[in-house]
Structure 1
C-alpha cells in the first residue's frame, strides 16, 4: 500500500484536549502545525490504495472530534497569475500575464475559472499541467485528486454553514 502525503486545513487550532482526541480518533499519522498564511493544518502521511481514499479516511477520523472540521485540502487550487508565478518559482507575474493573454507562447493558456471586478482566478492544476506539457517547464504535477477533495470539503463547509447538507446530498445524487 502507498503512503500519501497531504495537508488538511482545520477550522481552528485545537485545544490540548482536542489534540489528544484527534490522535485517539486515529490521526496519529498526522501532525498539527501552522502555515505561513496563519491557518492550522494537519500534515498527514496516510496509507491507502489511492489518494482520495487516504483523504477520506482522515476526514472520517476527523469527524470523531466535536468542534474541529476540515475547511480545505492541500494548497488550494484557485490562484491569481501572481500566485501562479510564486508557486512556479521560475516565472514572473508579467510572464504569466503574457502567456494568459497570448502575447507569448503557443496559446491555449487555461481560461480563468472566475472573473470578477478585474480579478481573474485560475486553476493551479490546469496552469501547472499546461506549463509542464505545453511550455515544458520543470514543475511538479498537481494531483487532481487534491483539487476534487478540496472542492468537496469546501462544498461541505458551505452546506453546513447554511444548514443545507441534505439538499446538497440530494443535488449530488441527481448530478452523479
Structure 2
C-alpha cells in the first residue's frame, strides 16, 4: 500500500485536535510534516505511473511501510483510549501487517514486471478508504484489513505453486555437474 497518502489523510483528520498527542508525527512542527507528506504523496502518485518510478518507489516504501503501519495503528488506538500495553501490541501488529502487505505488493510487481495503472489507482482509493474506515467504522476497517491479509496469504501460496511448477526456475535442487577434463 502507499505510505504517505494514508499518513497525510490522518494528519488532515487530526488537524483540528491536539497535534502534540499524535504519535511520532506530533514531535515535529505540523507545517513541516504537512509539507513533507504532501510532497511525498505527490511523488508516490506521479512516480507510480512509470516503471522506473515504481522501481524507485519500491525501495523507499519497503523501508517506510512498517513505520507507517505503526503510526496508523497508534493513531487509531490512541483515539480509542486503550491501555498502553495494548497500544504497543496494536502498533506492532499494524507494522507487521503493513510490511506483509507491502512485500506481497512487491512480489506482484516483480512477477508481473510492473503494476498496471488500474491497480495503482485502486490502491490510492483503498488507502484513503481504509484510513477513513479506521476512524469512522473500525470494525469494518479491521475486516477489510483481514481480507487483505487473507489475500496476501493466498497469493503467496499461488506464487509457491507457480514457482514449483516451473522447473526452469527451480535450480537449487539440481546438483552441479562436475567439470570434465
Q: TM-score scaled by structure 2? A: 0.31
- Larger RCO: 1 or 2 (CA < 8 Å, sep 6+): 2
**When you count helix as a share of all residues, which structure comes out higher?**
2
Larger radius of gyration between Structure 1 and Structure 2: 2
**When you count strand as a share of all residues, which structure comes out higher?**
1
Q: TM-score scaled by structure 1? A: 0.32
